[in-house]
Amino acid sequence: MEDTQATSPAEINPDIDHALMTRVAEGDHRAFRDLVERHQDAVVGTVTKMLGNASDSEDIAQMVFIRVWKHAKRYKPDNKFTTYLYTIVRNLVYNESRRRSRKRTISTDQREGEYYLQHPGDPASQPDARLLDTELRASIDAAIESLPENQRLAVVLRRYENLPYEEIAEVLATSVPSVKSLLFRARTTLRESLSKYMDA
């Protein structure tokens, strides 16, 4: 579970988010739509990885952006907008997780188009390879879902959303060393859970 640090559109110029939020605070619906378009895929993807249910994820993501709209006047551009956004995601996801009493199951059929270990369509790909890839992705999803909340969110934000340690620490309201410790423990658990694939 090594880090990959791709650059997302939001990271290229975070000032755009601050400018949009200034307009959203003034009631600008077009600015709000632009803000949602910039971040909705990442928010839905993160919520899905945390909760393991794509239909619920759409509802939670909608609630996230409703909160952004309702509290826009309180927003202060002291940190990245994504820090503010993922803090809202964290709160809503944790609340939803704690309302659930039974173990969640992941439906990989609902995960198309999201940030998993995907491989582009390969004409040479054999059915057996595709089946193994589907099984591997399902196993990775299940292994991530089994992690404690803080470890799970740290992994999702680092591996899939490419957030730096400092920003993850702010989202989780903890320190950078604590984030690194969470990730170390999570990777250790994931390696053990996925060892049969690594040894193959």
Instruction: Give burial (CB, 10 Å; 0-12/13-18/19+) of 109.
Output: exposed
Q: Is the pLDDT of residue 80 over 80?
A: yes
Of 55, 146, 47, 138, the residue nearest 96 (C-alpha) = 47
Distance separating alpha carbons of residues 64 and 19, to the nearest angstrom:
19
Q: What percent of the chain has pLDDT over 70?
A: 76
Of 142, 140, 91, 86, the residue nearest 118 (C-alpha) = 140
Q: CATH code for 124-200?
A: 1.10.10.10
- Return the CATH fold of 9-101: Rna Polymerase Sigma Factor; Chain: A (1.10.1740)
pLDDT mean over 29-53: 93
Q: Do the Cβ atoms of 147 and 104 come closer than 8 Å?
A: no
What H or E segment, with its residue span, contains residue 128?
helix 127-145
Q: In this predicted model, what pLDDT tens digit does every residue of 88-131 receive, in sequence order? A: 999 999 998 887 644 444 444 444 444 344 444 444 444 566 66
Q: Where are the domains of the chain?
A: 9-101, 124-200
User: 3-state class of 127 per DSSP?
Assistant: helix
| Identical fold between 9-101 and 124-200 | no
